[in-house]
Chain A
Amino acid sequence: MNFDFALIMTSIPQLLEGIGLTFQLWFLSAILGLLLAIALMLMRISGKWFLYVPAMVYIYIFRGTPILVQIFIIYYGLPQVEFIRESFMWSILREPFGCGILALTLNTGAYVSEILRGGVLGVPKGLGEAAAALGISKVQRFIYITAPLAIRLSLPAYSNDVISLMKSTALVSTITLLDMMGIARIIVSETYAPYEIFISLMIIYLILTWTTQKIFALLERRMNRHTIQ
């Protein structure tokens, strides 16, 4: 087999033309997914069945099915439904970008809500009691005691999910989006050099992963400065 190292070098700049789209998909769905996750987590720990049952069903469906299937259902399936085509949602779902964001958000939201719930459950009960004994209200206890500690506990698992979301963005190339993966597939079809092109792509993703890990490691260290190292 002939392995063309020069092709790796020349294809990287081409692939990077798609990195903007990768970043948009990644950051936008990470932020929206986090908001969704917070809402789901609050429903889940509310103790009210009409809130936690829907949240549990939602989480079960989105964690229990492949994200590729979710992308296809949103992209190919939803436009078949008439009232969606007539609603405001159509302006989002008409575009593959909107479908991609929606699918990634809904999926990551389900995973992250469980990560956050684990964090909340990990905060020692006695701290809430101590705050309650001081006359601090339930809402303020959550904001000033439970939430900051839950965030610290959730951070390692959350960083995993952010990285996994970044890799999932590659799947939207299946619905015509030209992110880095989409561009790679075009170059491969033109050059018939799958190894070189996909290896270039791997290198870029690995650099992104490494950077993300570093950022989260710094964040973790800063947030855990109250514990003895």
Chain B
Amino acid sequence: MNLPNPTPETVISLQDVDKYFGDFQALKKINLSVAKGERIVICGPSGSGKSTLIRCINRLEQHNSGKIIVDGNELTDQVKDIDAVRREVGMVFQNFNLFPHLTIVNNLMLAPRLVRNTSTEEARKQAMELLERVRIPEQANKYPSQLSGGQQQRVAIARALCMNPAIMLFDEPTSALDPEMINEVLEVMTDLAKEGMTMICVTHEMGFARSVADTVVFMDAGEIVERNTPEEFFNHPQQQRTQNFLKQILSH
């Protein structure tokens, strides 16, 4: 597969990030930097802090210490800065989280109209282009509940793209899908990768990681245990915990 190479410019940087839920430490001194155009896949057992990590990047969770810098902005308590950062960072959730009371096209139009004051015609045009891109323009006037899971997730990707984000976060985008629908979503994500989108993706789709990722990160118990190119990561895992994890998920 022909994928563009990341540039040396850093767009996301996490420095010694800690995150607690009460007494439980979900993230322990996380250091990670993401280059523009880089595609990172994060994997690890459940409860390892993968989702928490990417939810900290758009501040759906607030980190307790350390520094997170996204696109030159440090994440702090300033509400204005947060909304500005969030416009640059698209997110796709495990459970799609489409707005059930809005049609598909209105799901896509809401944020551009509210946040960027885009005109209705302009927003609709852009929404239709994006639905074209995720290959479901014919569903534009239906409600989310009328679509299959795979279609809903593709809409959710299109909705995130509506704000023209520089970075896309994927939080287990295929985990809630029936097996026959996983591929249609992975294909759309692969298209994005080919266009040079910076992507951080929490997933257990190892085939996707192998073919699309520049870097695979393995997390366990709130720490980054290992990071490497997919080649090295799958063929020569360095750490015992990584080896055990790979043995478990690849044994079937």
* One of A127, A132, A135, A137 near B99 (C-beta < 8 A): A127
A145 to B145, CA, bound (A): 16
Indicate if the CB atoms of B58 and A133 lie closer than 8 Å. yes
> A126 touching B95 by the CB < 8 A rule?
yes
Stretch at the interface among B2-10, B19-27, B80-88, B195-203: B80-88
Q: What distance in Å separates the Cβ of A91 from its nearest Cβ neighbour in chain B?
A: 43
Tell me if B65 counts as interface (CB < 8 A to partner A).
Answer: no
B114 and A140 contact, CB distance less than 8 A? yes
Tell me, yes or no, whether A51 is within 8 Å of chain B by CB.
no
| Interface contact A152-B101, CB-CB below 8 Å | yes
Q: Which one, B79, B110, B145, B156, contacts A226 given CB within 8 A?
A: B145
Instruction: Determine if A208 is an interface residue (Cβ-Cβ < 8 Å).
Output: no
Residues of B within 8 A of A130 (CB): 91, 93, 97-99, 156, 159
B249 proximal to A (CB < 8 A): no
Give complex CA distance A127, B156 in Å: 12
Q: Measured between alpha carbons, how far is A148 from B84 in the docked complex, in Å? A: 25
A129 interface residue per 8 A CB criterion: yes
User: Nearest Cβ in chain A — how far from B33, in angstroms?
Assistant: 22
Tell me if B32 counts as interface (CB < 8 A to partner A): no
**How far, in angstroms, from A185 to B139 measured CA to CA in the complex?**
61
Interface string of A138-176 (1 = CB under 8 A from B): 101000110011001000000000000000000000000
Is A228 interfacial (CB 8 A cutoff)?
Answer: yes
When A and B form their complex, what is the total count of cross-chain residue pairs whose Cβ atoms lie within 8 Å?
75
Cα-based distance from A129 to B99 in the complex (angstroms)? 11
User: A134 near B86 (CB under 8 angstroms)?
Assistant: yes
B101 near A133 (CB under 8 angstroms)? no
User: How far is it, in angstroms, between the C-alpha of A227 and the C-alpha of B87 when the chains are bound?
Assistant: 29
Q: Are A134 and B115 in contact (CB under 8 A)?
A: yes
Nearest chain A residue, comparing its CB with the CB of B146: A228
What does DSSP make chain A's interface, helix, strand, loop or mixed?
helix
Contacts of A127 in B (CB 8 A): 97, 99-100
CA distance A203 to B23 in the complex (A): 62
Q: What is the size, in residues, of chain A's interface with B at 8 Å between Cβ atoms?
A: 23
Report the nearest A residue to B110, measured CB to CB. A144
Asked if B100 and A226 make an inter-chain contact with CB atoms under 8 angstroms apart, the answer reads: yes
Proximity bits, B83-122, A CB within 8 Å = 1, else 0:
1101101110101011111100000001100110000000
Contact between A133 and B146, CB atoms less than 8 A apart: no
A61 at the binding interface (Cβ < 8 Å):
no
Chain B residue numbers with a CB within 8 Å of A135 are: 83-84, 86-87, 111, 115, 163
Q: Check if B145 sits within 8 Å of A228, measured CB to CB.
A: yes
- A133 close to B160 (CB less than 8 A): yes
Complex: A226 Cα to B163 Cα, angstroms: 25
Q: Give every chain A residue within 8 A of B83 (Cβ-Cβ).
A: 135-137
Write out the residue numbers on chain A whose beta carbons fall within 8 Å of the beta carbon of B93.
126, 129-130
B91 contacts A133, C-beta separation under 8 Å: yes
Which residues on B sit within 8 Å (CB–CB) of A124? 97
Contacts of B144 in A (CB 8 A): 226
* Cβ of B234 under 8 Å from chain A: no
Please give 18 more A-B residue pairs, beta carbons under 8 A apart, in addition to A126-B93, A129-B97. A126-B97, A127-B97, A130-B93, A130-B98, A131-B99, A131-B110, A131-B111, A132-B86, A133-B90, A135-B83, A135-B86, A135-B87, A135-B115, A136-B110, A136-B111, A136-B114, A145-B99, A226-B101
18 CB < 8 A contacts A-B: A124-B97, A126-B95, A127-B97, A127-B99, A129-B60, A129-B97, A130-B93, A130-B156, A131-B99, A132-B86, A133-B160, A134-B111, A135-B87, A135-B163, A137-B83, A144-B114, A145-B99, A226-B144
Q: Which residues of B are in contact with A by a Cβ distance under 8 Å? A: 58, 60, 79, 83-84, 86-87, 89-91, 93, 95, 97-102, 110-111, 114-115, 143-146, 156, 159-160, 162-163
10 shortest A-B CB distances, which residue pairs?
Answer: A135-B87, A130-B97, A134-B111, A226-B143, A133-B91, A135-B86, A126-B97, A135-B83, A135-B115, A140-B114
